[in-house]
């Protein structure tokens, strides 16, 4: 038996506290000496008990109980060998002892408890499920260490080939040593069987266009066999041959040439006749084909003429296209370093192009610049589209104060010709759908009216504050049916009359017709509308509509004119009109732009020429306003979109608003720098990125030139199947940074890195890496396991198990069965403390204690105790000695003496 303390320094407080208690005892008044001493002892006991509890006092004795935990590797490379070791461990059972306990843990990528420690021997059957895609010995040992009781000798028997590819088992071994846990190891004989694998795919990182180069494939095999080797280049099969594979290492070279620049992904696949694992039969590698940067310019009616001249003067390869002919696939867009869309309406851009463009910028690192004009941004129907999502500005304008309420009247032609149909849907039905959708976009405080007309106008719903009338209005709209002729002027007059008397701040009419009507007589109503601030937009449906008239009406009343042959366009047109109603997007005035946030685009530029107009928009959160207008609205804005970049120039590039700008060197430089800024960045030759699977994650290692000025590194990663990941890197060595992503899928990955220095400047770098099959299936690593096993055993003081008698043979070590009594001491201290309080609160208790103590020290002699309840004291009087009485009695004749004696007795009484 031995006594030990966890925190012995607490014992130093015992004499200090006792000294304080004794000192305060002398200050206690109203108590007899016996009571003072009693309370001093009680309080000292309380302090001693509490201090002993704080010190962690424990009593220990040597134990001979040994607990053995089997940590068994069931990963793909080791499971078969571990299961075949059953006979070996069955033979070891005869070497067990009665004082032994047994448990088991199985592990692969993760670890689970197979058997909790008890007196029953582990029967070497495995029921726990673990992922076998990797070997995490650290996790297996860590879980095993949690199963031990404190009062037992602790040992782990590790059964593994030692081919760790996840975790840090050497570090864990050091932790086990500090816990006095030894690890003995049994290395089962691993037979990979007939196995063929692709070990590596080798290609230069940078290759010139139109130059022949080699792609090298390395194959390792444990047998001689035949195989098919396939090589894919960006999913296109470029090599497909039968090859002979010899036992050992085989190298095959494939010649290739690239006629287009950009990022290229190679994938090699083998199909051997004899094989065990298919997981290691595929591998990826990537490279970059260097070429002159290529820019795609999409415009209408030569709206991008000037930007093309600027780019061609910069020796870039410029390709022109209109909106309808724009590339519709990511493969077609991928060959361009940037895309410029110059004043193109959204209706001229296909949905397939917009979807591919989004992937091109967001996931492939491409660049996008949109230049404006009266057919772009909000006026071009960008609101709510994929294109708006990509841009650094919103089409919805920022408001100062409350949004003004809108008065909207829909004037709808329901003549007989509106029954004409396309694909089974009539013009009338699409017009009704357009009105209903527009009503859904209005606010409760807005005013809405619906007027139908043929030869005569008829109100479907007179102008009313929308409020809760939405459903009722839409129900009435749905009842409209085509019939009669076409007469626009009476309907337009009626709409004006009703709308002009409403209280709406903004008043707008949308007129839809598919026919011919009065060609004159409109000047009066248009003049009245202009005086009242009522605007009119017109929609011509089909070739039978009077397009000239409708266009003229829209222009004279400050509205917009639309023409469509597709009835299905009507809901989109009406939604756009409802969105634009009452908003002043066009700014026709001269101003000098102001510098916004810092940008490489305007670096070293101190002054800029004036601009004559622009389209209003709102800067998005996270975007940079490089140049701003005199109304603090964006003129040039940029931002990072995925791993690519996008920018918007809210003025034109055809000279209507920018004649001064385009004729100046500064203006050309800023536009040229903007295209350069958004352009797809080439793979950096100074940055190297690698990846290694670690359980359910992949560790990304980044090697960059050493730089003490780096403050932060983050990245955006895109997989070959367009999954996106954000990653933050931490420095592990000088110039070496690591980060994690929750992805283990094999393939090529593109990464855009943002390196921020201590001054806040950010540099964007593009690079790439590949995730290969798990190292668990790499047959070239099998021989490396013994070294790891030996390190574990050496660190923890264990041994290599070579015979059944070693399995349960624990190392000589003394382990103590320890009992901690701190909780007991705390309970005792509480009891004694409560007794102290009770004794001082109730006087009869302390009186009784005092009598007992006096009786013990005076041989049970009765003591007279005087009680004084007011002062709560008792004074014990001594009896008068017999000698004094005799003296008094002998002097009875002396009256003075007699009186003295009498008085004294009274006092005693």
pLDDT digits (tens, 9 = 90+) for 624-681: 999 999 999 999 999 999 888 999 999 999 999 999 999 999 999 999 999 999 998 7
Supply 315's token pair: 């020796």
Identify the pLDDT of residue 885. Answer: 44
325-333 long-range contacts (CB < 8 A, ≥24 apart) are 326/296, 326/298, 326/350, 326/353, 327/296, 327/353, 327/356, 328/352, 328/353, 328/356, 329/356, 330/356, 330/359, 330/360, 330/364, 331/234, 332/356, 333/296, 333/357, 333/360, 333/364, 333/366
- pLDDT, tens only, 131-173: 887 888 999 999 999 999 877 888 999 999 888 877 888 899 9
What is the gyration radius of the CA atoms in the chain, in angstroms? 46
Query: How many Å apart are CA 437 and CA 427, to the nearest integer?
Result: 15
CATH for 62-184+780-810?
Answer: 3.40.50.410
Identify the pLDDT of residue 268. Answer: 96
- pLDDT, tens only, 29-50: 666 777 777 778 888 888 888 8
Supply 427's token pair: 């013009």
Query: Considering only 479-493, 832-846, 880-894, which range has the smallest mean pLDDT?
Result: 880-894
Q: CB atoms < 10 A from the CB of 811, how many?
A: 13
Q: Which residues pair with 219 in a beta bridge?
A: 198, 250
Calculate the average pLDDT of the chain: 84
Crossing angle of helices 427-441/570-580, nearest 10°?
30
Q: Give the mean model confidence (pLDDT) for residues 117-122.
A: 90
Reading across the β-sheet that carries 196-202, which strands appear in turn?
196-202, 213-221, 248-256
Residue 382 or 8, more confident: 382
Supply 436's token pair: 């209903």
Residue 273 or 380, more confident: 273
Residue 622 exposure: Cα atoms within 13 Å on the Cβ side: 11
196-290: CATH class: mainly beta
Supply 503's token pair: 């209280």
Identify the pLDDT of residue 709. Answer: 84
CATH topology of domain 688-777: Immunoglobulin-like (2.60.40)
**pLDDT tops 70 at residue 92:** yes
Would you kindly state where each structural domain of the chain is located, as residue ranges?
2-55+821-857, 62-184+780-810, 196-290, 294-397+588-678, 406-580, 688-777
- pLDDT, tens only, 445-461: 899 999 999 889 999 99
Q: Give the mean model confidence (pLDDT) for residues 103-125.
A: 90
Reading across the β-sheet that carries 57-63, which strands appear in turn?
2-5, 57-63, 815-820
Q: Give the mean model confidence (pLDDT) for residues 182-194.
A: 83
Q: Which residues pair with 636 in a beta bridge?
A: 627, 649
Domain 406-580 coded CATH 3.30.460.80: no
Contact 771, 693 (CB under 8 A): yes
Query: How many Å apart are CA 793 and CA 176, to the nearest integer?
Result: 11
Cα-flanking dihedrals φ and ψ of residue 812, to 5°?
-65, 115
Cα-flanking dihedrals φ and ψ of residue 329, to 5°?
-125, 155
| Residue 704, helix vs strand vs coil | coil
Question: Length of the chain in residues, anyone?
Answer: 909
Alpha-carbon distance values, 281 to 218, 219, 226, 227, 738 (Å): 11, 9, 14, 11, 28
Model confidence at 811, pLDDT cuts 50, 70, 90, reads: low
Alpha-carbon distance values, 793 to 54, 173, 180, 329, 788 (Å): 37, 8, 13, 58, 9
Query: Considering only 109-123, 516-530, 842-856, which range has the smallest mean pLDDT?
Result: 842-856
Residue 771 or 865, more confident: 771
Alpha-carbon distance values, 36 to 50, 736, 839 (Å): 22, 72, 12
Q: What angle (nearest 5°) sits at the alpha carbon of residue 89, between those of residues 84 and 91?
A: 115
- Strand pairing class (196-202; 111-118): unpaired
Query: How many Å apart are CA 460 and CA 466, to the nearest integer?
Result: 14
Cα-flanking dihedrals φ and ψ of residue 337, to 5°?
-85, -20
- pLDDT, tens only, 665-719: 999 999 999 999 999 876 667 788 999 887 788 899 999 888 888 888 998 888 8
Greatest alpha-carbon pair distance for the chain in Å reads: 161
Query: Considering only 342-351, 501-510, 727-736, 834-843, which range has the smallest mean pLDDT?
Result: 834-843
Of 84-93, 334-343, 826-835, 858-867, highest mean pLDDT:
334-343
| Residue 730, helix vs strand vs coil | strand
Contact 514, 544 (CB under 8 A): yes
Identify the pLDDT of residue 668. Answer: 94
Eight-state DSSP code of residue 385: S
Eight-state DSSP code of residue 868: B
Reading across the β-sheet that carries 710-719, which strands appear in turn?
688-694, 697-703, 736-741, 724-733, 710-719, 747-757, 762-771
- Helix (H) or strand (E) run with residue 150 in it: none
| Residue 204, helix vs strand vs coil | coil
Query: Considering only 58-72, 324-338, 723-737, which range has the smallest mean pLDDT?
Result: 58-72
Q: Give the mean model confidence (pLDDT) for residues 365-389.
A: 91
Which positions ≥6 away from 408 have C-beta within 8 Å? Answer: 438, 442, 446, 447, 448, 449, 508, 509, 510, 578, 581
Alpha-carbon distance values, 267 to 232, 234, 283, 683, 722 (Å): 5, 8, 6, 19, 17
Supply 230's token pair: 């396939």
Q: Give the mean model confidence (pLDDT) for residues 49-62.
A: 79
Supply 458's token pair: 């008829």
**pLDDT tops 80 at residue 191:** no
**pLDDT tops 60 at residue 788:** yes
Same fold, 294-397+588-678 and 406-580: yes
294-397+588-678: CATH class: alpha beta
Supply 448's token pair: 């809405």
Query: How many Å apart are CA 207 and CA 288, to the nearest integer?
Result: 6
Q: Is the dihedral of CA 135, 136, 137, 140 positive or negative?
A: negative
Query: Considering only 106-120, 345-359, 394-408, 506-520, which range has the smallest mean pLDDT?
Result: 394-408
- pLDDT, tens only, 832-883: 888 888 777 777 776 777 777 777 766 544 444 434 333 333 333 333 334 4
């Amino acid at each position: 038996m031995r006594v030990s303390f966890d925190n012995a320094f607490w014992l130093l407080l015992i004499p200090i506290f006792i000294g304080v208690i004794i000192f305060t005892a002398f200050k206690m008044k109203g108590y007899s000496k016996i009571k003072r001493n009693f309370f001093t002892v009680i309080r000292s006991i309380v302090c001693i008990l509490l201090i002993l509890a704080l010190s962690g006092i424990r009593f220990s004795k040597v134990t001979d109980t040994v607990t053995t935990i089997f940590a068994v590797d069931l990963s793909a490379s080791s499971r078969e060998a571990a299961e075949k070791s059953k006979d070996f461990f069955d033979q070891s059972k005869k070497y067990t002892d009665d004082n032994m306990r047994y448990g088991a843990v199985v592990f692969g990528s993760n670890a689970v408890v197979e058997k909790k420690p008890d007196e029953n021997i582990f029967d070497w059957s495995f029921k726990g499920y673990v992922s076998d895609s990797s070997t995490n010995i650290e996790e297996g040992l860590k879980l095993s260490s949690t199963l031990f009781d404190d009062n037992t000798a602790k040992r782990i028997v590790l059964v593994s080939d030692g081919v760790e590819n996840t975790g840090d088992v050497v570090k864990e071994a050091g932790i086990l040593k500090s816990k006095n846990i030894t690890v003995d190891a049994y290395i089962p004989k691993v037979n990979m069987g007939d196995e063929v694998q692709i070990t590596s795919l080798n290609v230069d990182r940078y290759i010139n266009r139109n130059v022949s180069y080699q792609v090298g494939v390395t194959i390792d095999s444990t047998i001689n066999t035949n195989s098919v080797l396939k090589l894919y280049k960006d999913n296109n099969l470029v090599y497909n041959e039968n090859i002979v594979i010899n036992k050992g290492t085989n190298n095959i070279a494939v010649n290739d040439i690239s006629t287009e620049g950009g990022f290229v992904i190679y994938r090699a696949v083998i199909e051997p006749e004899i094989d065990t694992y298919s997981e290691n039969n595929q591998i990826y590698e990537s490279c970059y084909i260097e070429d002159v940067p290529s820019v795609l310019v999409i415009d209408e009616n030569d709206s991008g003429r000037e930007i093309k001249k600027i780019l061609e003067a910069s020796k870039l390869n410029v390709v022109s296209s209109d909106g309808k002919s724009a590339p519709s696939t990511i493969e077609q867009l991928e060959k361009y370093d940037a895309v410029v869309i110059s004043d193109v309406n959204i209706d001229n851009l296909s949905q397939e192009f917009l979807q591919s463009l989004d992937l091109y910028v967001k996931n492939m690192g491409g660049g996008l610049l949109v230049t404006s004009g009266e057919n772009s941004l909000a006026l071009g129907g960008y609101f709510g589209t994929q294109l708006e999502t990509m841009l650094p500005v919103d089409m919805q304008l920022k408001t100062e104060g409350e949004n003004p309420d809108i008065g909207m009247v829909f004037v709808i032609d329901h003549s007989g010709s509106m029954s004409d149909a396309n694909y089974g849907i009539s013009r009338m039905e699409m017009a009704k759908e357009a009105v209903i959708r527009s009503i859904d976009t209005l606010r409760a405080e807005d005013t809405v009216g619906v007027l139908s007309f043929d030869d005569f106008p008829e109100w479907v719903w007179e102008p009313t504050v929308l409020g809760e009338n939405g459903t009722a209005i839409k129900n009435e709209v749905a009842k409209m049916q085509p019939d009669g002729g076409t007469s626009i002027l009476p309907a337009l007059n009626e709409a004006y009359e009703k709308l002009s008397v409403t209280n709406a701040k903004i008043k707008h009419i949308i007129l839809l017709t598919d026919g011919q009507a009065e060609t004159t007589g409109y000047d009066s109503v248009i003049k009245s509308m202009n005086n009242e601030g009522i605007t009119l937009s017109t929609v011509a449906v089909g070739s039978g509509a009077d397009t000239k008239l409708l266009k003229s009406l829209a222009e004279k009343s400050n509205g917009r004119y639309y023409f469509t042959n597709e009835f299905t366009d009507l809901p989109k047109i009406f939604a756009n009109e409802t969105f634009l109603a009452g908003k002043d997007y066009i700014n026709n005035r001269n101003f000098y732009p102001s510098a916004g946030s810092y940008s490489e685009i305007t670096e070293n530029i101190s002054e800029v020429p004036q601009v004559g107009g622009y389209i209003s928009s709102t800067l998005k959160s996270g975007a940079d306003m490089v140049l701003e207008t005199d109304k603090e609205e964006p003129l040039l804005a940029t931002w990072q979109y995925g791993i690519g970049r996008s920018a918007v120039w809210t003025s034109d590039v055809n000279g209507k608003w920018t004649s001064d700008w385009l004729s100046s060197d500064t203006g050309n430089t800023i536009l040229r720098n903007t295209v350069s800024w958004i352009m797809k960045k080439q793979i950096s030759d100074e940055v190297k990125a690698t990846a290694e699977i670690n359980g359910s994650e992949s560790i990304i290692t980044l090697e960059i030139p050493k730089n003490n000025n780096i403050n932060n590194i983050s990245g955006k990663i895109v997989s070959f199947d367009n999954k996106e990941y954000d990653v933050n890197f931490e420095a592990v060595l000088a110039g070496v940074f690591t980060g994690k992503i929750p992805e283990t899928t094999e393939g090529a990955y593109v990464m855009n890195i943002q390196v921020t220095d201590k001054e806040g400047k950010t540099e964007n770098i593009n690079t790439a890496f590949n995730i290969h099959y798990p190292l668990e299936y790499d047959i070239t690593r099998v021989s490396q396991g013994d070294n790891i096993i030996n390190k574990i055993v050496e660190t923890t003081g264990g041994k290599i198990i070579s015979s059944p008698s070693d399995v349960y043979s624990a190392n000589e070590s003394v382990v103590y069965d320890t009992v901690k009594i701190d909780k007991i001491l705390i309970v005792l201290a509480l009891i004694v403390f409560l007794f102290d309080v009770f004794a001082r609160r109730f006087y009869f208790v302390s009186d009784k204690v005092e009598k007992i103590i006096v009786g013990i020290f005076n041989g049970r002699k009765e003591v007279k105790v005087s009680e004084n309840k007011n002062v709560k004291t008792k004074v014990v009087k001594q009896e008068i000695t017999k000698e004094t009485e005799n003296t008094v009695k002998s002097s009875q004749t002396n009256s003075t003496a007699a009186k003295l004696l009498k008085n004294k007795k009274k006092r005693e009484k």
